[in-house]
Amino acid sequence: MSREQRGRQLLDVAWTLVGGEGTDALSLGRLAEAAGVTKPVAYDHFTTRNGLLAALYADYDQRQTAVFDARIGAAPARLDARAQAIASGYIDCVLSQGSDIQAILAALAGSPELRDVRHRYQQDFVDQCAQWLGAFANDGDVPVAGRWAILGAAESLSEAVAAGALRQPDAEAELQRLIVDTVNRAR
């Protein structure tokens, strides 16, 4: 098995462990045991538990980016359609990971190193919003504070849907309205 294939296998097993046992039980030793490899193999790929958590978040982010790219690419070049693609894409990505991504996010908040990893991915989303929505703003840019507000709302609404506090269509509609209103203020 190539290094890349082994890395993918380890990530898949790690996601299974997070889903079945939670992040507290996730260690490189436990991952090695569940994957049927030696501990040095797991340590070679991730070095530390924090490295594994960061890799899981990166894996989630790559899948999220692919979903957004497909939805944005398929959406008509109108603000409402673009906002709907972002809203449904974000919430769908969080729901596709269920409580697993929430557990990873909670673990990421547990150390400065992992907070930095999460912040980098948040910044990437905020930057992507500028690309996705800038064409609909007067000066070609949605204010940074507005883009961070979109991210905050997307995270909160997704968490509420995942917890069963909101229905997905209601959360998507609210997020879409917020995105449209944020961009319209930039006109």
Contact partners, residue 166, CB within 8 Å, separation at least 6: 157, 160
Residue 143: predicted pLDDT: 95
Decide which of 183 and 103 is more confident: 183
Residues 75 and 101 in one domain: yes
User: What digits encode the pLDDT tens for the residues 106-138?
Assistant: 777 777 777 788 888 899 999 999 999 999 998
Which structural domain range is residue 129 located in? Answer: 54-185
pLDDT reported for residue 86:
96
End-to-end C-alpha distance for the chain, whole angstroms: 54
Q: Buried (b) or exposed (e) across 81-113, using 16+ Cβ within 10 A? A: ebbbbbbbbbbbbbeebeebbbbbbebbeeeee
Same domain, 99 and 172: yes
Q: How high does pLDDT run on average in the chain?
A: 91
Q: What is the pLDDT of residue 142?
A: 95
Which residue did the predictor score with more confidence, 115 or 141? 141
Judgement on whether residues 159 and 80 belong to the same structural domain of the protein: yes
Q: Is residue 35 located within the same domain as residue 79?
A: no
How much is the pLDDT for 186? 78
- What is the tens place of the pLDDT at every residue in 74-90? 999 999 999 999 999 99
Task: Indicate if 74 and 109 belong to the same structural domain.
Answer: yes
Q: Please write the tens of the pLDDT for every residue from 57-77.
A: 889 888 888 888 999 999 999
Q: Are residues 32 and 123 in the same domain?
A: no
Residues 33 and 99 in one domain: no
Do 28 and 99 lie in a common domain? Answer: no
CATH number at residue 63: 1.10.357
Per-residue pLDDT tens over the stretch 3-56: 999 999 999 999 999 989 888 889 999 999 999 999 999 999 999 998 999 899
